[in-house]
Structure 1
Amino acid sequence: MRRLFKFSLPVLLLGGSIVVFLWLKASQVPDQPIEAIEKTWTVTTVSAQRQSLSPTVRLYGRIESPHESHRRTAISADVQQVPVLAGTTVVPGDLLVQLDDRSLQLLLRQREGDLLEIKAQIESEKRRYAADLEALKIEKTLLQLGEKALARAEQLARTQAGSAARVDEAQYAQHAQTLAIANRQRAINDHNPRLAQLRARQQRAKALHDQVRNDLERTAVRALAPGKVTAVHVSPGDRVRAGDQLVDVFDTRLIEVRAQIPNRHLPTLRHGLSAGTDIAATANIEGRVRSLRLDRLAGKIEPGQGGVDAFFSFRGHAISIELGRTIALTIELPAKAQVIPLPATAIYGANTVYRVINNRLDRVAVQRVGEYDNGEQGSWVLVTGDAIKEGDAVLSHQLPGAVDGLKVASAPTGN
């Protein structure tokens, strides 16, 4: 009996467990399905309106001057005084550097003496020429008298009233006078060449004199225009040689801004310059808005540059500003037709916006044209693209997790 109970107990327990499991399953309450509720995001939108607007481009430029001069010495001399420092404002005629001029003063007096000597030689040559002309007249008269004396001597010799010696003396006197006339005539003929040689020497001496005088003037290095000194390379007592750098100074009337133009804007700017369009720009310098205009584009792209350099000149009065300073420029490009202004926050990535269609986000690609100053609303972005239709509601802010098809509830804000 005990053995039968020992083997039947597990069977009873297993059967009881099956009965309990079947009862629990039969009495189980069926699960109710959970209905999924899609979240709706509240967003703000702007209405896409195609307009003709002037896009703006914000760039960073560097202050430069096309008339920044590096003054160098043309002579070898000692530096006597340097009355300016870096940052000194100068006007035309202000002394920048004074070189020692004593040796040049001595050389100048020597050149002046050479000129006076040659001038005296020219005057002497002219007087000699005048004297030769007068002497030639007298010598010709003496020749005529000698010829008459020879004729009388020959006549007397034929009549035996005179001697042959008298004839020889008369012939000798005639030949001597003829030779004297020839020498005098040669001296007269040589007058013009001698005078030309003296005048050539005079011109060479005058050139040397003027060269020394120019070098003497160069010992005083002066400002050529209103400007500002940017660097001083010498001090009193320094010895400088021809070509050594003295000071750097730039013309404050000729200040411009060099800025690199992205390649996508180059065709517009180049066409505007060719057509004579006034392409304006503005810059905020020390709290004051200054107006500029595009003057020209660079003719060369340096290695490593991502665009072409453009040069902007300031309108109105000269501006006092340091060379090399970096400023922000806002360039107003020629007007573009059929562009859509959107807040900068409406742009996702580089060229994506979201439309709201039937309370769903619709992702579309656009092309950025430039920025646009929308008054009190700040800087907007001008875009274009065939996918955006007139009046489309465009998401105007950055929505975390924005994806195509996301359910939203829009609250238009206009533009």
Structure 2
Amino acid sequence: MASPFQPPRATQRFIWILPLFIVVLSIIGFYWLKMNRAETPLIPPETQRWNVQAQQVEWITAQAETQIFGQITSHGLASLTSAVTAELQQLNVNEGQRVSENTLLASLDKTDLLLQLRQRQADFESAQARIAAEHIRFEADQQALALDEELLQIQQRKLRRLEDLSQRNLSSQEQMDTARIALQQQALAVNSRRMALADHPNRLRQTEAERDRSEALLDQAQRDLDRTDIYAPFDGRVAERLASVGERLRPGEPILSLYDLSNLEVKALLPSSSLTRFRQQLQSQEQTILARTQVDGQAFTLHLDRLAADSHNSRTGIEAYFRFQDAPWLPEPGRQVTLTLQLPPESQVVALPPQALYGNDRIYRLVNEQLEALDVERLGSRPGTEQDSEILVRSEALQPGDWILTTQLPNAISGLPVRRVAGTGNTPP
């Protein structure tokens, strides 16, 4: 028997068929609507362009400026040393003090040198006395030789008389022997006197050499005494005191150092890229190469004086020396300075604001409202008229009338769409 709550079998089938029918009908309706919808034309999106500023290329002839680092030096730095062994008695100057030429800077003890000078003076006077004695001896030998020769003649005549008497047996053999001995002795005396006279030039030269030697030692002693007072060799400034009063110094030991104020200069390293132009300008002497710097708030003007003869194995440049011009005062050697150097004039260059340069050597040209990257040669900078400074660049690819991007874009790349506007801006519309 059927349950009173169970629906008829036909009703159960309808309950299962109805949801399936609804699903199929929905699918059919979706595909019909999709196939019969109206076609909507596609509208391409507008290309995004950046508003930028640009500057037109104009050839100019200009002097670029570059900054180099240097050090103040003096090739007139003198180290004053002790010339003798003596005690430092006075030191009259201090570090940093300006002195004039021939100013007495220091004095050494003179006691030992005065004694040595007296000894050399005595030796010199003794040598002079020996020379005078030699001249007197020479004159005496000349007079004595005449007497000795006369005595020799007397002895010769005496011997001849004895020989005559001996032949007549009027003299003894003893008298003959005595006469011969006296004659030989007198002959030896004459020879000795003649040798003394012949040796006179040698003895005179020897005594004169001794005199010259003693005179040289006397001059040296006098010179050593004079060098106990140390004077400034030029107008300058005391750089450093290297000894103290009371210290016993030996020859060559330093006392103080002094630098010449007129020989102060700045030594700096010039870049290799500019050496050829600097050499040509120095040789032509048509225009002075100037530089400027500041020390303790004081502005100084310098000029390039010369280039170093040796690069010291440096591959980045060569040392150059700059001299001060009309300086109100001169800074101390050893200080580090930054030089702003005027480079030689360059033709067919372009002056651009700093923001036009990307990296060290890249700019962007506007071509058909798109950016085009160009590599350029950066020559330096110069003071600008409206901006703080301008960058001078050169490139064979640039032509007069080209537009150069002067707005700094964070995403600048070749092909980037841009729109040149008169106002300032770097944002897309």
Shorter-chain TM band: 0.7 to 0.9
Question: Which of 361, 368, 371 matches 2:371?
Answer: 361
1:274 deviates by: 5.0
Question: Which of 293, 317, 328 matches 2:304?
Answer: 293
Equivalent position SS for 1:96:
strand
Q: In 2, distance between residues paired with 1:266 and 1:80?
A: 52
Question: Which of 323, 328, 339 matches 2:349?
Answer: 339
Question: Which of 395, 398, 410 matches 1:385?
Answer: 395
Q: In 2, distance between residues paired with 1:317 and 1:363?
A: 46
1:154 deviates by: 3.5
Q: In 2, distance between residues paired with 1:327 and 1:246?
A: 30
Equivalent position SS for 1:335:
strand
* Conservation of the 8 A alpha-carbon contact between 2:301 and 2:327: no
Question: Which of 278, 281, 290 matches 1:281?
Answer: 290
Equivalent position SS for 1:55:
strand
Comparing 64-73 with 214-223, which one deviates more in the overlay? 214-223
For 2:345, give the aligned amino acid.
Answer: A
Question: Which of 174, 199, 220 matches 1:190?
Answer: 199
1:365 deviates by: 1.3
Cα distance per residue 1:23-67 (max 9 Å; x no partner): 9x89x9999977644454443333212233333332121111112
What TM-score, normalized by structure 1, do the two folds share? 0.85
* Conservation of the 8 A alpha-carbon contact between 1:293 and 1:315: no
1:252 deviates by: 1.0
Equivalent position SS for 1:334:
strand
Equivalent position SS for 2:344:
coil
1:214 deviates by: 3.1
Cα distance per residue 1:337-372 (max 9 Å; x no partner): 322222333211111112223333322111112333
The reply to whether residue 409 of structure 1 matches residue 417 of structure 2 is: no
1:251 deviates by: 1.0
For 1:237, give the aligned amino acid.
Answer: G
1:183 deviates by: 0.8
For 2:235, give the aligned amino acid.
Answer: P
Give 1:150-189 correspondences, 5 Å limit. 150-159=159-168, 165-189=174-198
Name the counterpart of 1:351.
361
For 1:294, give the aligned amino acid.
Answer: D
Cα distance per residue 1:92-137 (max 9 Å; x no partner): 2223332223222212211221111122112111211121112112
* Conservation of the 8 A alpha-carbon contact between 2:82 and 2:254: yes
Query: How many pairs were matched up?
Result: 412
Give 1:40-79 correspondences, 5 Å limit. 40-79=49-88
Gaps spanning 5+ residues in structure 1: where? Answer: none
Question: Which of 196, 217, 242 matches 2:251?
Answer: 242
* Conservation of the 8 A alpha-carbon contact between 1:47 and 1:412: no
Q: In 1, distance between residues paired with 2:304 and 2:391?
A: 22
Q: In 1, distance between residues paired with 2:74 and 2:13?
A: 112
Name the counterpart of 1:132.
141
1:116/1:20 CA distance change after superposition, 3 Å: same
1:96/1:302 CA distance change after superposition, 3 Å: farther
* Conservation of the 8 A alpha-carbon contact between 1:278 and 1:293: no
1:260/1:169 CA distance change after superposition, 3 Å: same
Q: In 2, distance between residues paired with 1:244 and 1:261?
A: 37
1:236 deviates by: 1.3
Name the counterpart of 2:210.
201
Q: CA RMSD in A?
A: 3.4
1:172/1:43 CA distance change after superposition, 3 Å: same
Comparing 317-326 with 13-22, which one deviates more in the overlay? 13-22
Q: In 2, distance between residues paired with 1:199 and 1:317?
A: 59
Q: In 1, distance between residues paired with 2:70 and 2:413?
A: 38
1:243/1:105 CA distance change after superposition, 3 Å: same
1:161 deviates by: 5.6
Q: In 1, distance between residues paired with 2:111 and 2:356?
A: 75
Equivalent position SS for 1:234:
coil
Name the counterpart of 1:84.
93
1:231/1:6 CA distance change after superposition, 3 Å: farther
1:172 deviates by: 3.4
* Conservation of the 8 A alpha-carbon contact between 1:293 and 1:314: no
Cα distance per residue 1:252-282 (max 9 Å; x no partner): 1111111112222233334444555655122
Question: Which of 223, 233, 236 matches 1:224?
Answer: 233
Equivalent position SS for 1:411:
coil
* Conservation of the 8 A alpha-carbon contact between 2:52 and 2:418: no
The reply to whether residue 110 of structure 1 matches residue 119 of structure 2 is: yes
1:400/1:182 CA distance change after superposition, 3 Å: same
Q: In 2, distance between residues paired with 1:186 and 1:318?
A: 79
* Conservation of the 8 A alpha-carbon contact between 1:281 and 1:329: no
Equivalent position SS for 1:253:
helix
Query: Whose Rg is larger?
Result: 2
* Conservation of the 8 A alpha-carbon contact between 1:59 and 1:259: yes
1:199 deviates by: 2.4
Cα distance per residue 1:309-354 (max 9 Å; x no partner): 2222234569521101122223333333322222333211111112
Gaps spanning 5+ residues in structure 2: where? Answer: 1-6, 425-429
What TM-score, normalized by structure 2, do the two folds share? 0.82
1:197 deviates by: 2.0
Equivalent position SS for 2:262:
coil
Q: In 2, distance between residues paired with 1:276 and 1:145?
A: 95
Cα distance per residue 1:166-201 (max 9 Å; x no partner): 544443333222211111111112222222222222
